[in-house]
Structure formats: C-alpha cells, structure tokens
Structure 1
C-alpha cells in the first residue's frame, strides 16, 4: 500500500501560551506569522493575550490565532514533506484547511477567521449567553429528548457515544442535571458561542459573501467538508459548505472514516493541541497519527514524516 498523508487543522480548545514557539524557530514561518497577526488586528499585545486565558479562549481572539498558528506551522514544514492526499479541518480549522490546500493565501485565511468570529459574536445579540458542552457515554439519539427539552442542538458528532452540543447557557444547569440521569457525562467547553447550531444562522449568508470577496480558489488538494465528509475540489462548493458549517452540525466521525476510506496511512495535526490526531488514531489505529505539538523541533516533525515516506 502506498503512503498517503492527511493534514489535520484543529479547532478551538488547544490554545496555550507557547502555541507559536515552534513555528517561531523557522525564519520563513516566523515572518508569515507576523504578517498573519498584523492582519488579525487583535488590538491587544500578543503576549498579553497568551498570558490571559479569558482572552486566549475568547472567540474573537481564538479563531484568528488558531488559524495563524496552523498556517505558520504549515509554512515551516510544507517544502520538505510529501504532498498531502487530503486536508481536514475541525470547526475553524476548516478555514485553515483551505489555506493549507492552496485555495487561500495565509493572510486571507486569517482575515476570514476574523470575519467569521465577528459574525458569530454578532449572533449573541439574539441569544446573549450561549454554551458548548461535550457529552460522552450516550448516543445523540438517546440524548436528543433531553437536549430538546433544554434548547440544545447537536454541534459536532465525534463518535457513536460522544458528541458536542450547543445552546442557551440559561438552561445549562438543567442540562447538567439531566444528562447524568440519562447515563451520560457532560463537560462544559471553554467556548462561549454555540457553534454549528441554528443559533449561528444569521452569520451564514454574510460569511459566504466574505468568502466570495476573498476570491477563494479551487483547492489544489481535496478538503473534507465538515458537514458532509465529502472531498471538496471546487471553490463554489467550498464557499457553500464553509459558510453553512457555522450553523450546521460537523460530522467529524464521518470525516475520520473518510480519511481511512481515502487510504490515508499517515496523519499530521498542525496544532495547537493534539486532540484530532488522538481521535483519529483511536478510531482508526492503522493510521499513524502525530501532532506537531508532540515534537520538540520542526526538524523532528520532518524526520518523522520522512521515515514514513522513505
């Protein structure tokens, strides 16, 4: 079997103060990162954001920073690794995936992340307090009546008995009481917007317009659609799916299966964090999975990949 590489681009949750340190060791990646951060117009010194979890995990800061980290890391390794067979991104990571796939310039991916965060934050005007929760030990179908009772919706399907749901924080206490009674375990995530649920519907059309303004091109590498797990080859389909995923559930379990079905044998997560590579390896142990965050140097990443492609 020939070796086939997948690049994974993470969503929110893995941010940390040292999330740019590895990319900074590469001069080209560091210069690209500076350009990306300039486009992000954070309004607060980066070191202050990195030192403050409330800022680092705020939607407005998190989305462009995560995309900037992915793009800078990819810049550090892309000239010395085999061409990926496909790219997959989780939530905001799907925007970064189109940057990795050559459909967007790095600075444009960050600019789109800024627009996406702003539009999603704007949805808070109709529902000021929102929440995302991870539920395990319970299938979505079994949990659906409780979720409906509490005004929560499926946001991301990650496995047969694991998923993420979003809704109004006003009924979160009730959901925390009912889910354990149904046999599940609930964890509140450090995300204040109910991404990938109908709560975000007002952001869909404006974000599609933003994608059009940035002239998203056909990807040179197929990108998995989060909402369908299909391989996307055309810009028009990318615009439709990228905008819709703001308010529609992400089928991440299906995306992981699609990697296996496409013959992927090696997967590298760009970071920050290592959640996607761990999920993929747990579901498909035959795929060699690592995250850049697990290495001490960019050279170590390249050596690991070279070993699998020799």
Structure 2
C-alpha cells in the first residue's frame, strides 16, 4: 500500500484468513496479532487431545475423496485446495488403511508434516475456545470483499461466527478462488513465505496472473508490473 498498490478483494488460507481480516481493516494490527497467537495455542491444545494426522490426496476428484473418507469413522476431507488435490485429517491409526484405500481408488495419499487434524471435528474445542476469544475483541466489517474459508463466499454480517467455525471446518480454497475470479480478480498477490498458494491458483485457473511476495526484490517487481494495471 505504501508503494501505491491496494487490493480490490482479499482472502487467506486457514491461518492466513486472520492476516486477510487485518489487511481489510476489520481488526487492527494488535488485535490481529493477538488472534493469531490465541488461535495457535487453542489448536495446539486440541491437537494434543488425540493422536491425529493429515495427508494430501492427489489424482482423485473431490467427490472420489469424499467417497473414500466415508468408508472410515474418523477421516475427513478438510482442505479443498485445487482440482485433484484435497487434504484430509484423520485419527493417526487410520492413516495407513486410508492411504491403501486411496491407492485402490487410483489416487495417492501423501502424509503431511503436521501434528494435528486441522479443520476437522478434532478441532471442535479449539473452535469453541476461539469463539470466546473473538467475543472479547472488536471485529468490524471489512473495508473490501473478504472471502470466508468456511463458505467460500464473501463475508456478510458479523464475521465472528465464521472465523471460529473455520477452525473445525473445511477450507474451501478452490471455491474461494473461483468466486474471486468470477468477481473480476485477474491478478493474485500471495503475501508471506513461499508460493504455495500461487501454485494452487494456477492449477485452478491458468489464465490469471500470480505473484509471490516474500522479499524486497519481489515487492519491487510486483509494484513495477502490477501497479496501475
């Protein structure tokens, strides 16, 4: 923004939704930082309640992943990342049989290096705790369209319920990106380390431009190429 570039809409993936909430001025910087810290503490506590795991499922459609998950009592599709890639959360002992079922269905399950079953019912206590944290904070309306992980649509009304629910609900990233493009977005700037989201967006729609902003050099390039477009 100091360089003259301001977004028309915003979204964040999982924890990134708090960053997006702050960017859109729904909360101030101090509140955003407080929410990030408390969210992490609550999710860590929930993760320690039961041994859980996550895996990225490749080569299967969303519906096929859901069908395989339905064969198990504690396996849930949680991150709808892009076509052919859905992450699941599960009880740790079910990871091996689930992976075998994915292989039998023609897909591939890659274990993720995390120690929690995020965005699933395993995070219910964290979602409840975060709802209480949010009640103690001043959360206003975003100054621009902000897309919800929980619904995939623009926030309407009080953001607090969806912010707490998203901790124990799937991230609808593919839906978010498609809705943003339908609303006119043709250029995406990913803020933060790496370019994972840029990669997902490119798999969702190859016609849009993506930029990953991690360094000062990235910032200078983006300001030069995007500003004024």
For normalisation by structure 2, the TM-score amounts to 0.91
Report the secondary structure of 1:231's partner residue: coil
| Partners of 1:289 and 1:164 in 2: CA distance | 22
Shift of 1:125: 4.4
Alpha carbons of 1:83 and 1:145: their partners in 2 closer, same or farther (altered >3 Å)? Answer: closer
1:247 equivalent to 2:163? Answer no
1:262 equivalent to 2:183? Answer yes
Structure 2, unpaired ranges of 5+: none
Corresponding position of 1:283: 204
Shift of 1:118: 1.2
Number of aligned residue pairs? 228
Report the secondary structure of 2:10's partner residue: strand
1:198 equivalent to 2:121? Answer yes
Shift of 1:294: 7.4
Corresponding position of 1:17: none
Q: Does the Cα contact within 8 Å between 2:83 and 2:203 map onto a contact in 1?
A: no
Q: Does the Cα contact within 8 Å between 1:81 and 1:305 map onto a contact in 2?
A: no
Q: Does the Cα contact within 8 Å between 1:222 and 1:233 map onto a contact in 2?
A: no
Report the secondary structure of 2:214's partner residue: helix
**Matches for 1:8-47 after TM superposition, within 5 Å:** none
Report the secondary structure of 1:224's partner residue: coil
Alpha-carbon RMSD across the aligned residues, in angstroms, is 1.8
Q: Does the Cα contact within 8 Å between 2:47 and 2:117 map onto a contact in 1?
A: no
Corresponding position of 1:274: 195
Shift of 1:203: 1.6
CA-to-aligned-CA distance 1:90-122 (integer Å, 9 cap, x gap): 011111110111112223212111111111122
* Aligned with residue 11 of structure 2, among 63, 88, 92: 88
CA-to-aligned-CA distance 1:110-138 (integer Å, 9 cap, x gap): 211111111112223431x1111110111
Alpha carbons of 1:231 and 1:146: their partners in 2 closer, same or farther (altered >3 Å)? Answer: closer
Corresponding position of 1:185: 108
Q: Counting helix residues as a fraction of each chain, which structure ranks higher?
A: 1
| Partners of 1:189 and 1:295 in 2: CA distance | 30
**Matches for 1:216-231 after TM superposition, within 5 Å:** 216-231=139-154
CA-to-aligned-CA distance 1:266-287 (integer Å, 9 cap, x gap): 1100021111122212322222
Report the secondary structure of 1:250's partner residue: coil
For normalisation by structure 1, the TM-score amounts to 0.69
Alpha carbons of 1:297 and 1:285: their partners in 2 closer, same or farther (altered >3 Å)? Answer: closer
Corresponding position of 2:85: 162
Corresponding position of 1:304: 225
Q: Does the Cα contact within 8 Å between 2:195 and 2:212 map onto a contact in 1?
A: yes
